[in-house]
Amino acid sequence: MPGAHMTLWELVRALVRNWPILLIGAVLTAGSGLAAVSADGVHFTRTELVFLAPTSALYPNALRTQSEDIIITAGLVAKQVTGPEKITKFASPDVTLVGLGVRDGWSLRLPDTGGQWATNFATQRLFLDIVGPSEERVREQQSALIEEVDQELEALQRERGVDPVNDITMITAPQSTTIYSVGVNKARALGMTAVLGIGATIAAVIFREYLRRRRRSGSSSEDATAEAVPEPVTAS
């Protein structure tokens, strides 16, 4: 930006000259900083819902039995619970709602290990992510959604005429029901707010000075041009 360069001393004088902008920037930065340090943390859980094959003499251990049919069933149940909305695909199945910036909500999905451009559903379990402002709220949603998944699985199998002895069942993975408290780093939030606020204020002052110098330069050019034009000579 031509004409926008200035020394440190010129910047200080510009800040003093544009004190209204400085004042507005300080007020907005202080307000944003107060909001940042006042923000409460959230509570989060990732519950793993494991779908198990029916046991038999050939496969007595349901936990070790892997089946594509069970994976498909888990995906169908998840779709019944979440509804017809399109499921967002992530580069990694480890992405969480908290990592995405969600502060109140839930998601239920079949983990996709295929990366950003491919699809690979290799596990017969669902990830139930819940985030909320309090542990009680998260726990209530957790219980309600686990029950809903169980009911949808039951309804799906009854509709397909599956004999109860051959039912796929669902359990929660041990330790996965733990609810964690995710706090806000107030010092970092305040520091980032201050840096952004000061930077934006200085940028606004520099831009205003640039416009002022440009207007001044334009006026000087017009005056110089007017002086250089000779007055017409009239014949006597």
pLDDT value for 204: 87
Nearest CA to 176 among 141, 216, 129? 129
Model pLDDT for residues 96-114, shown as the tens digit of each residue: 888 888 889 999 999 888 7
CB-CB contact of 178 with 188 (8 Å) = no
How many whole angstroms separate alpha carbon 25 and alpha carbon 204?
Answer: 9
Domain ranges of the chain: 1-39+185-210, 42-182
pLDDT tens digits for range 51-76:
998 876 666 656 566 788 899 999 99
pLDDT band of 88, cuts 50, 70, 90? confident
In which residue are the tokens 């999905």 written?
109
Domain 42-182 has CATH 3.30.70: yes
Average the pLDDT over 114-127 and give the result.
Answer: 81
Distances (CA, A) of 198 to 14, 28, 51, 186, 191: 14, 10, 53, 18, 11
Full-prediction pTM beyond 0.75? no
